[in-house]
């Protein structure tokens, strides 16, 4: 959409002749910036939905290599595209589980093609668009989105709205791994957001979003234990409304060359999950070109109304809602990360930037993930 | 009492929000560490975990669920 607008923009250049004298002629399409990151995920834990291993709950052991790239392309003075291409190479996800029938979790490659564009229509108004395609065995899907953002009071404040529609198509399975045919789910999402400068060192922003999902929301091969020691299929509602409200404060401290950020998020959905998440981040400059970052995040969620680790008979095979998915269970999650980053344009690396991060995520219902990442980038 | 203190803090924040910060006093706001998207790839990697492993992910600024086949 924005590419089409770009053609119109080229035909009707916003910059006047006087501007071109001052800032030069618009050079047109060019790659502005490239960043590359490689992350390694190591996951351990157990969940009742998994049939991997000999015990119940089953293993959730997995490791994954994720290279990703972020390419910023400037089309004109007013239009910028940002393309993100993450590739998830899952080298072992519950390889002995029933879902290995599709080989989806034995060895899998998943990719995203995520293109976000910004078109500065006027000094105060910006249009955004998003096109995202996702592919992996045994599913594929995409998202189309658009938004508008307006700066107020000399950009002391901004307000914005955006929305998107997404469709996923995938193979449906039962908990034995038998193929049940093709199925799909649809997603509608709308958000409003605002930001406000509170002082020369303080900014606050917030957003509210609502998402409606419809279709096959379950993961086909997830199993639910019964009280007599057998397993049955997961059954989820076919619709889900999800709402989230978040606020974030960022404070720069000139005296110590530090930045502190705090974030709170509240969430509720039609499955009955209520969640609260707080996160704090501290950035400290060690040199004008080098800073370290430490963060801590705490997440608490209630489980869905129909979560069970042993459903009692009798129940209706087709209609009785049930899941043993550990992701839909009540739990607390703790996450911390530390990283060191250089600032491009400063210090010995000139235009290059480098970053290294170690992250640890743990849940109270037996899940532990460690992530190590390296990244680098430079403007072109 | 706690609620009153909370409302007082909110009121102070809103009153101060009326203050205009001129462009020539925004150098600290332009610091790389102050940007909301200062490391997009890192945020994506973190979101990968939250989206895949938390039933309460999404819904704010990003579509919730879909794309990972993980019941979110």
User: The domain A37-379: what is its CATH number?
Assistant: 2.40.160
How many angstroms away from the CA of A162 is the closest CA of chain B?
A: 8
pTM score, whole prediction: 0.87
d(CA B56, CA B59): 8
Q: How many CB atoms lie within 10 A of CB A27?
A: 9
Mean pLDDT of B12-37: 82
Beta-carbon separation of A275 and B52 below 8 A: no
Domain ranges in chain A are 37-379
Residues with Cβ within 8 Å of A118's Cβ and at least 6 positions away in sequence, in order, are: A2, A79, A80, A81, A82, A126, A127, A128
pLDDT tens column, A131-143:
999 887 777 899 9
pLDDT tens column, A235-254:
999 999 999 999 999 999 99
How many angstroms away from the CA of B69 is the closest CA of chain A?
A: 6
Which three-class secondary structure state does DSSP give residue A296?
strand
Please give the residue that has the higher pLDDT: either B53 or A281. Answer: A281
Please give the residue that has the higher pLDDT: either A378 or A88. Answer: A378
Q: Is the pLDDT of residue A24 over 90?
A: no
- Report H helices in chain A: 2-11, 17-23
Q: Token pair for residue A300?
A: 């608490």
Beta-carbon separation of A70 and B41 below 8 A: yes
What's the helix, strand, coil split of chain A in %, to 5?
5, 65, 30
DSSP letter string, A341-380: EE-TTSSTTTT-EEEEEEEEEEETTTEEEEEEEEEEEEE-
| ipTM rounded to 2 decimals | 0.86
d(CA A107, CA A92): 6
Mean pLDDT of A336-352: 93
Q: How far apart are the first and last CA of chain B?
A: 39
DSSP letter string, A116-165: EEEEE-SSSEEEEEEEEEEEETTEEEEEEEEEEEEEETTTTEEEEEEEEE
Cβ pairs bridging A and B (under 8 Å) = 203
Q: What is the pLDDT of residue A83?
A: 96
Assess contact for B29 and A197: CB atoms under 8 A. yes
Assess contact for A140 and A110: CB atoms under 8 A. no
How many angstroms away from the CA of A11 is the closest CA of chain B?
A: 32
Which three-class secondary structure state does DSSP give residue A210?
strand
Q: Is the pLDDT of residue A11 over 60?
A: no
Q: Token pair for residue A342?
A: 């250089």
Q: How high is the mean pLDDT of chain A?
A: 88
φ, ψ of residue A135 to 5 degrees: the values are: -140, 140
For chain A, say whether B69 makes contact (Cβ under 8 Å). yes
Please give the residue that has the higher pLDDT: either A216 or A102. Answer: A216
């Amino acid at each position: 959409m924005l590419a089409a607008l770009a053609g119109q923009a080229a035909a009707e250049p916003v910059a006047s002749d006087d501007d071109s004298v001052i800032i030069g002629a618009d050079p047109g399409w060019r790659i502005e910036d490239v960043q590359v990151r490689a992350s390694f995920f190591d996951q351990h834990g157990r969940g009742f939905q998994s049939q991997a291993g000999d015990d119940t709950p089953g293993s959730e052991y997995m490791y994954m290599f994720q290279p990703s790239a972020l390419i910023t392309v400037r089309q004109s003075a007013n239009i910028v595209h940002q393309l993100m291409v993450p590739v998830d190479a899952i080298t072992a996800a519950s390889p002995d589980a029933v879902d290995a029938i599709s080989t989806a979790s034995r060895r899998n490659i998943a990719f995203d093609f995520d293109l976000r564009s910004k078109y500065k229509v006027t000094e105060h108004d910006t249009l955004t668009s998003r096109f995202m395609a996702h592919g992996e065995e045994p599913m594929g899907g995409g998202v189309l989105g658009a938004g508008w953002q307006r700066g107020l009071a000399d950009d002391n404040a901004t307000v914005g709205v955006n929305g998107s529609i997404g469709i996923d198509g995938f193979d449906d399975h039962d908990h034995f791994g038998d193929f049940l045919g093709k199925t799909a789910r649809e997603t509608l999402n709308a958000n409003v957001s605002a930001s406000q400068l509170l002082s020369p060192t303080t900014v606050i922003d917030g957003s509210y979003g609502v998402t409606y999902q419809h279709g096959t929301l379950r993961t086909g091969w997830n199993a639910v234990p019964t009280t007599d020691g057998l397993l049955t299929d997961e059954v989820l509602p076919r619709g889900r409304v999800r709402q989230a409200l978040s606020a974030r404060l960022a404070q720069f401290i000139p005296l110590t060359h530090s930045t502190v950020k705090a974030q709170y998020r509240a969430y509720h959905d039609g499955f009955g999950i209520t969640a609260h998440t707080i996160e704090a981040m501290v950035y400290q400059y060690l040199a004008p070109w080098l800073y370290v970052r430490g963060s801590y995040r705490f997440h608490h969620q209630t489980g869905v109304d129909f979560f069970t680790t042993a459903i009692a008979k009798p129940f209706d095979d087709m209609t009785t809602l049930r899941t043993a998915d550990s992701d839909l269970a009540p739990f607390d999650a703790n996450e911390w990360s530390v990283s060191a980053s250089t600032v491009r344009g400063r210090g010995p690396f000139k235009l290059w930037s480098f970053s290294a991060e170690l992250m640890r995520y743990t849940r109270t219902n037996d899940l532990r993930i460690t992530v190590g990442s390296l990244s680098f980038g430079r403007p072109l | 009492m706690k609620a009153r203190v909370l409302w007082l803090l909110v009121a102070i924040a809103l009153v101060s929000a009326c203050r205009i910060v001129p462009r020539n006093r925004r150098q600290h706001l332009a610091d790389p560490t102050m940007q909301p998207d200062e490391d997009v790839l890192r945020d994506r990697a973190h979101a990968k975990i939250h989206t895949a492993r938390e039933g309460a992910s999404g819904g704010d600024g990003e579509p919730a669920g879909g794309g990972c086949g993980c019941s979110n």
